[in-house]
Amino acid sequence: MKLKKFVKWIFAGLVVAFIVLQFFNPPRTNPPVTNDFIAATKPPPEIEKLFRAACYDCHSHETKWPWYSRIAPMSFGIANDVEYGRANLDLSDWPTNSVRAAKKMDAMSEDISQKEMPLPKYTLIHHDARLTDAQRKQMTDWLDAQSEKFSGAK
């Protein structure tokens, strides 16, 4: 009998904690775009579509915040992932310096070809972000060609 009462109190405490967490959600912001990657590089439409599906939610200021990004504790994880993604590669603040742009493209190509990006936890829910080997090759071939073009434009 005591165990049942204890479990009920634990459950009630968890429900209260869940409700209280909802009042402390992190901000979900989309700052202004300063220099968009797609506008700067003008990829073919099929490549643009792949970048928008696989990269833009976490690596740009054009994040589509889904309904579950408003429910704690999930909201904290999503906001943290977007903040981390933008800090590592911000496609909305693309460098105008061609050497820096080429280096970023090389890093992007490597992450995509090594299947480090997009993250599995993202593709688990976002089916359109799942890249086939052919799509990865298409993206990396384009990135490598652009990187070569940009690095030659010093």
pTM: 0.83
Domain membership flag for residue 12: no
Residue 58 has pLDDT above 70, yes or no: yes
How many structural domains does the chain have?
Answer: 1
Q: Is residue 10 part of a domain?
A: no
135 falls within a domain: yes
The pLDDT assigned to 27 comes to 84
Q: Give domain status of residue 71, yes or no.
A: yes
- Over 80: is that where the pLDDT of 1 sits? no
Provide the domain limits for residue 138: 27-151
String of DSSP letters for 44-108: -HHHHHHHHHHTHHHHSS-----GGGGSTTHHHHHHHHHHHHHHH--TTB--SSHHHHHHHHHHH
pLDDT band for 153, please (50, 70, 90 cuts): low
